[in-house]
Structure 1
């Protein structure tokens, strides 16, 4: 038999960092992964030891990097992102509207924004070229990821780190900010993504400092700000303290559009159909020798929903780890017994018992044909 063809044309991205411009470009411009060939159990057994090791390596990499998936949630968020970014083509003297993508962890908000940013980067390079008229490298997108207790100076320096500015090691917060503005202007950056904004210091006087800092960036930087975080409203993104110490609606709130993403639900036919479509998408892309039609969409649909409570991040983790174990153990298929031995995040495991109890009582189903026992108003 012909052994599976190794796919070596894609650059290795496992050592990539999005905190540097070269890493972001590598992600944005990397060709699409090629799905490994599907082999029958007999063909798999017939592989030589070397060929089998290479094939399993391809499958490990493939399953670890499934997606992003064009779910209804991702599509809706990206349509809103395009609307806002495209409408921010005003001249530089006009402030641009900002975006706050605020959702609980595990719902794919960062994945969705980065997928949008990749498409925006490629579109700008195609339309405007890799270099500006002044001869500088064009970087349509700058992405900054925050860490625990990041302050304003750290934030400004992180922008300089992205652009690899030579003066990023010494200076005041104000000097870093002015250098960051120079980078944005020289590289004609149009989108500034600030990930994990909830890590920024918000308490006490820092809250007002943060609010004023973002107002300055929105006014002076010709970019669309995209904030990504958890519970940003309650942390004070949209509010500031007035002179009397009372919370007032900040200018940031007037210029920032909040967007969100929701977990999958199965409480009506449309939502159950969306979940089934997701199962079918994943089923087509799983590369296991014992895979069969309906393995996910029919046999494991309720199981996956109960294990992950409809959170796409938890689901992708369970699929990935399940496939890795199925390959390593020789099971070559996904089934409940194998998946029960796979550990995922604590939040999903905590909610699992209640959902499984409801499933056993036939109070719900994720399948498109509702169970007879599902009461009116629940299906």
Structure 2
């Protein structure tokens, strides 16, 4: 007779079925949008409670703890809040404009692994959550026999070697549309897809892969500007946009503080008649790493560490494990305040803590942990997408306790003479 308890055969709820969602396809974006923030962390157990589990349950719990550490929720920082608020405001303002013409875009600038993509995608998904609640008031019902897919947000990545054709194909892949053979037909198909699917926001990641010393890159940038005529808000995401050459030919409007790209056009085959003769305008916002040189910056970093600490499920963790003593300064030195590097260090450190039985994070344990950036095949080091990892691995030296002085021969003062 099977003596196994009922939940022994239950489906493990914290494991993913199938590959992760591909946000560059509308189906994958919808899957990610709906499940984001729904992961259920492992329960907190004491060492005694953990030891009392059966070997199988203990192994499952350890796997759940590992899943918890690598699926920590996206934490808002003062830097990401500034970016997200500006982006959500821009999307909402542009979405409710009635007049035709270009929509002001947004450029999100920052270093590699600083959370630009996740911040932008989360802000876009939050906007879509609201926009989908009201879209039935703006759109007719489904038409039988047609493919009516509402795609308010489209996210794609610029190919490593950017060309107008490559960008068009990346955008069409979002909708699952076929690729026409000629560039003119590709551009026409992109414009039709954005209109037909009522796309309000178009996010183009890795924009600084455009080098602009090649004619294809310059034509690709011109095509991106022309897409602003489609009543769509362009969100361009890239590493070191000011230093990439992407802003060449643009200027800052002193009245609005926005970057303006003049509508002169290069006359390429894809260049279509624009709806207006106004410049293409972008705001640029920086997503910076944490700053450890000011009281406000230190406080923000400590708050972030406290949020991470609250999500950890190490058996010997304690309040202040990441925020007290020399640990915050050590973590900042290892990561330079870059949230992506900090996340990887904590993930790998937790794995090491579980495997060794240490079950807590200390500078000494983290000093033995190498920061692994994972699969970098889809990143372009030449565009700054792979950050330099600080080589600081030595834990902070603990202050040596001063040895007490031998006081045996000290004069104690007026002691009574022997025999008194």
Q: Is the 8 A contact 2:14 2:67 kept in 1?
A: no
Following the alignment from structure 2 to structure 1, what is the Cα–Cα distance between the partners of residues 225 and 20? 35
1:97 aligns with 2:104: yes
Q: Is the 8 A contact 2:102 2:231 kept in 1?
A: yes
- 2:21 aligns with 16
How far has the Cα of 1:14 moved from its partner?
4.7
How far has the Cα of 1:150 moved from its partner?
2.3
Note closer, same or farther for the CA distance 1:172–1:131 as it changes in structure 2 (3 Å cut).
Answer: farther
Note closer, same or farther for the CA distance 1:68–1:144 as it changes in structure 2 (3 Å cut).
Answer: same
Q: Is the 8 A contact 2:260 2:282 kept in 1?
A: no
Structure 1 unaligned runs (5+)? 242-247, 363-379
1:124 aligns with 2:131: yes
Worse overlay, 185-194 or 297-306 = 297-306
Once the two structures are superposed, residues 32-54 of structure 1 have per-residue CA deviations (whole angstroms, 9 ceiling, x without a partner) of 11121001111111111221222
Note closer, same or farther for the CA distance 1:222–1:321 as it changes in structure 2 (3 Å cut).
Answer: same
1:162 aligns with 2:174: yes
- 1:208 aligns with 218
Note closer, same or farther for the CA distance 1:258–1:74 as it changes in structure 2 (3 Å cut).
Answer: same
1:250 aligns with 2:261: yes
1:58 aligns with 2:64: yes
- 2:384 aligns with none
* Residue 109 of structure 1, aligned match among 111, 116, 141: 116
Note closer, same or farther for the CA distance 1:9–1:108 as it changes in structure 2 (3 Å cut).
Answer: closer
Following the alignment from structure 1 to structure 2, what is the Cα–Cα distance between the partners of residues 123 and 191? 13
Note closer, same or farther for the CA distance 1:179–1:131 as it changes in structure 2 (3 Å cut).
Answer: farther
How far has the Cα of 1:128 moved from its partner?
1.6
Q: Is the 8 A contact 1:6 1:55 kept in 2?
A: no
Note closer, same or farther for the CA distance 1:206–1:139 as it changes in structure 2 (3 Å cut).
Answer: same
After TM superposition, list the pairs within 5 Å mapping 1:34-45 onto structure 2: 34-45=40-51
Following the alignment from structure 1 to structure 2, what is the Cα–Cα distance between the partners of residues 236 and 11? 41
Following the alignment from structure 2 to structure 1, what is the Cα–Cα distance between the partners of residues 315 and 338? 27
- 2:267 aligns with none
- 2:162 aligns with 150
1:264 aligns with 2:274: no
Following the alignment from structure 2 to structure 1, what is the Cα–Cα distance between the partners of residues 168 and 225? 14
* Residue 199 of structure 2, aligned match among 184, 189, 195: 189
- 1:306 aligns with 333
Worse overlay, 230-239 or 178-187 = 230-239
Larger Rg: 2
1:71 aligns with 2:77: yes
The alignment's TM-score, normalised by the length of structure 1, stands at: 0.84
- 2:317 aligns with 291
Q: Is the 8 A contact 1:16 1:23 kept in 2?
A: yes
The alignment's TM-score, normalised by the length of structure 2, stands at: 0.76
Following the alignment from structure 1 to structure 2, what is the Cα–Cα distance between the partners of residues 29 and 342? 34
Note closer, same or farther for the CA distance 1:257–1:101 as it changes in structure 2 (3 Å cut).
Answer: same
Worse overlay, 283-292 or 10-19 = 10-19
* Residue 346 of structure 2, aligned match among 319, 339, 360: 319
- 1:244 aligns with none
Following the alignment from structure 2 to structure 1, what is the Cα–Cα distance between the partners of residues 20 and 201? 24
Q: Is the 8 A contact 1:151 1:201 kept in 2?
A: no
Once the two structures are superposed, residues 13-72 of structure 1 have per-residue CA deviations (whole angstroms, 9 ceiling, x without a partner) of 753211111111111011611121001111111111221222122122221121211111
Note closer, same or farther for the CA distance 1:360–1:257 as it changes in structure 2 (3 Å cut).
Answer: farther
SS at match of 2:41: coil
- 1:232 aligns with 241
Following the alignment from structure 1 to structure 2, what is the Cα–Cα distance between the partners of residues 309 and 225? 31
How far has the Cα of 1:6 moved from its partner?
7.6
Following the alignment from structure 1 to structure 2, what is the Cα–Cα distance between the partners of residues 261 and 145? 19
- 2:88 aligns with 82
How far has the Cα of 1:280 moved from its partner?
0.9
Q: Is the 8 A contact 1:239 1:249 kept in 2?
A: no
Once the two structures are superposed, residues 189-223 of structure 1 have per-residue CA deviations (whole angstroms, 9 ceiling, x without a partner) of 1000000112235223234313321221112x221
Q: Is the 8 A contact 2:289 2:337 kept in 1?
A: yes
Number of matched residues? 349
Structure whose residues are more often helix by fraction: 1
SS at match of 2:390: helix
Task: Provide the aligned C-alpha RMSD in A.
Answer: 3.0
